[in-house]
Amino acid sequence: MTKNMGVIFIGNKPPMAYVLAIITSLSASNAKEITLKARGQAITTAVDAAEIARRRFMKDLQISKVSIGTEEMPPRKGENRSRMVSTMEITLKKE
């Protein structure tokens, strides 16, 4: 196991921002793998970024794993109940 597993957290920027992060991360290091982590609406952005990266820029990139799950988030201010949020992880691998 390496100390710095490549992980990119997907937020609400446009997909291309994360495509760039994927390419940079895989080019700069000798890492062969990178994992995109997203929650809620950012899940769609994660899929977009993975697909754009692999179809348009790095043809040797493979999707090695996709998993989904649920995370409990603390309640918003003024609310009592914690919220359940869907999560997704996409692992991309360079051949």
CB of 28 to a copy of itself, least distance (A): 25
Which residues within the stretch 59-88 sit at the binding site for a copy of itself (CB under 8 A)? 63, 66-70, 84, 86, 88
Return the residue of 47, 53, 58, 61 that touches a copy of itself, per CB under 8 A: 47
Cβ-based neighbour number of residue 94 at 10 Å: 15
Does residue 24 touch a copy of itself according to CB under 8 A? Answer: no
Compute CA distances 78 → 71, 72, 74, 75, 81, whole Å.
Answer: 20, 17, 11, 8, 10
Residue 27 interacts with a copy of itself (CB under 8 A)?
no
Alpha carbon distance 70, 52 (integer Å):
25
Looking at the Cβ atoms of 65 and 76, the one nearer to a copy of itself is 65
State the nearest-atom distance from the C-beta of 92 to a copy of itself, in Å. 11
- E strands present in the chain: 7-9, 33-39, 61-73, 83-94
Nearer to a copy of itself, 7 or 68 (CB): 68
Which of 50, 53, 58, 61: binder of a copy of itself (CB under 8 A)? 50
Query: CB-side exposure of 6: number of CA atoms within 13 Å?
Result: 21
